[in-house]
Amino acid sequence: MPMLNKNASQTTPHRSDEPIWWSLFSAGGVCVAMLVPAITLLVLLGIPLGLVSAEQLSYQRLHALVFHPLGLGVVLGAMVLPLFHAMHRIHHGLHDLKLAHGRLAKWLCYGSAVLLSLLVLGLWFSGLG
Amino acid sequence: MPSMAIQLQRYLPERDSTPHWQAFNVEYDDSTSVLDALEQIKAEQDSSLSYRWSCRMAICGSCGVMVNGVPKLGCKTFLRDYPKGLQLAPLGNFPVEKDLIVDMSRFLEHLTAIKPYLIAEAAPQGQPHRQTPAQLARYKQFSNCINCGLCYAACPQFGLKPDFLGPAAIALAHRYNLDSRDSGKAERMAQLNSDNGVWGCTFVGYCSTVCPKGVDPAAAVNQGKIASTLDGVIQWFKPAKASRNKEQR
Ligand code: SF4
Ligand code: FES
């Protein structure tokens, strides 16, 4: 049996920053899993089956819903968190496919999620008035 | 007795520059295991063949091999289940030493690093540590690990990054952290909190599929992610104490 590296058990490694990204990823996954089927059912089945009238999903009504203060929750749940969910998957997917796993990939992935989220939030706040 | 063609990956470091395949024929019946087949080959056809085994009853964890590309215990895998023939190779993701024997020292280092033993004050007066069935149930499943390393051969993250602590080591860390008698969690969390700890896992889940003892290391790793996140939040709110891990990068 080769000598074991005794130091392996003695060095204290850095704490990972993954809990932040993983928490956003998990929250995004839950939102996607709950909202996407609901929206799909509503639009793809509800309207053709006559369960929901197209009127109820009219521009005015949806606009009022989204820009209601509670609509911010919908925007966070349907867009911002899923963005982090997707970019987390892409970031780890790049590592798995041996395409990229350095800092740059991480900055690009989470950076684009942050930028797009800011864009979404900016549009939301500018649409409030 | 029927016979079966077996392809064996051979590698004799003093003779071969790279591993190569060699064909053998073995006789078998319903009770012939892969390990039995290897013993038959070594006894009757080629005594230079090397492989590991000890207990022959799925408890020592030494007989892991790739069976048609899937990590298996040789003594718990039967020829009758492979009517189309067998390809046997050393466990994946480990350096090959000779024939079916791999160098597992990386796995053992990772095991050592997470202190896989009870860290506890002695119970008073030689009394046993008492534990309720509910306390036992929390960790029992994770205590069935036999350190066979099949989950490491299955884990693509360990294959990409051998510094990743890996399924069994993390499952064992989790097992002791969940044990009501143990007080060593703080010492183990530093390892689990790192990029090579629970966060090296992307929840592929193949480790749990191949585990011959039903340990479900993937569940342990992902429960460990929640534990590590909570640990991080707690450390955040008590900055006065020395941080468990070094400063964040
Ligand atoms: S978790 Fe399962 S597969 Fe992994 S070393 Fe333990 S017994 Fe083997
Ligand atoms: S020989 Fe012990 S587990 Fe197979």
Alpha carbon of A54: minimum distance to chain B alpha carbons (Å): 41
Contacts of B111 in chain A (CB under 8 A): none
DSSP-based three-state secondary structure for A62: helix
Whether residue B195 sits in one domain with residue B115? yes
| CATH number of the domain residue B87 falls in | 3.10.20.30
**B229/A19 CB distance under 8 A:** yes
**Which of B42, B67, B102 is at the close of a domain?**
B102
**A19/B225 CB distance under 8 A:** yes
Q: Six-digit token pair at B121?
A: 């004050």
List residues near ligand 2 (CB under 6 A): B 53-56, 58-63, 73-75
Q: Six-digit token pair at A128?
A: 């409030």
B101 at A interface, C-beta within 8 A: no
How far apart, in whole angstroms, are the C-alpha atoms of residue B107 and residue B111?
6
Whether residue B114 sits in one domain with residue B98? no
* Number of domains into which chain B is organized: 2
Whether residue B7 sits in one domain with residue B63? yes
Angle, CA B52 vertex, CA B111 and CA B142 arms, to 5°:
35
How far apart, in whole angstroms, are the C-alpha atoms of residue B225 and residue B230?
9
Ligand 2 closest atom vs CA B75: 4
How far apart, in whole angstroms, are the C-alpha atoms of residue B219 and residue B197?
14
B105 at A interface, C-beta within 8 A: yes
Whether residue B67 sits in one domain with residue B179? no
Whether residue B124 sits in one domain with residue B70? no
The residue-averaged pLDDT of B162-167 equals 97
**Which of B66, B82, B102 is at the close of a domain?**
B102
Contacts of A13 in chain B (CB under 8 A): 190-191, 193-197, 245-246
pLDDT of residue A66: 87
Whether residue B118 sits in one domain with residue B91? no
**B112/A8 CB distance under 8 A:** yes
Whether residue B85 sits in one domain with residue B200? no
pLDDT of residue B243: 59
Closest CA to B158 of B194, B192, B196: B196
Whether residue B24 sits in one domain with residue B113? no
Residue found by looking up tokens 């993983």 in the block: A22
Residue found by looking up tokens 């046993």 in the block: B128
pTM of the model: 0.87
Whether residue B8 sits in one domain with residue B90? yes
How far apart, in whole angstroms, are the C-alpha atoms of residue B131 and residue B108?
29
| CATH number of the domain residue B199 falls in | 1.10.1060.10
**Which of B76, B102, B128 is at the close of a domain?**
B102
> How would residue B229 be classed by pLDDT, with cut points 50, 70 and 90?
very high
DSSP secondary structure of B150-167: HHHHH-HHHHH-TTS--H
More confident residue, A3 or B194: B194
From A82-96, B206-220, B232-246, the region with the lowest mean pLDDT: B232-246
Q: Six-digit token pair at B204?
A: 């592929």
Substitution candidate for ligand 1 out of B107, B213, B216, B221 with most atoms within 8 A of CB: B213
Contacts of A19 in chain B (CB under 8 A): 199, 225, 228-229, 232-233
pLDDT of residue A81: 95
pLDDT of residue A9: 46
Q: Six-digit token pair at B219?
A: 């569940």
β-bridge partners, B7: B23, B87
What is residue B5's DSSP assignment?
A: E
Ligand 2 closest atom vs CA B61: 3
**A8/B243 CB distance under 8 A:** no
Contacts of B165 in chain A (CB under 8 A): none
Whether residue B124 sits in one domain with residue B96? no
Whether residue B23 sits in one domain with residue B48? yes
pLDDT surpasses 90 at B124: no
B22 neighbors B12 (Cβ within 8 angstroms): no
Contacts with A120 (C-beta within 8 Å, 6 or more apart), sequence order:
A75, A79, A80, A83
**B195/A92 CB distance under 8 A:** no
A95 at B interface, C-beta within 8 A: yes
Please give the single-letter amino acid code of residue B224.
Answer: G
pLDDT of residue B241: 55
Number of Cβ atoms within 10 Å of the Cβ of B79: 24
**B190/A12 CB distance under 8 A:** yes
Low-confidence spans in chain A with pLDDT less than 50: 1-3, 5-9
Domain hosting residue B64, numbered range: 3-102
Closest residue to atom 8 of ligand 1, CA basis = B148
Whether residue B224 sits in one domain with residue B194? yes
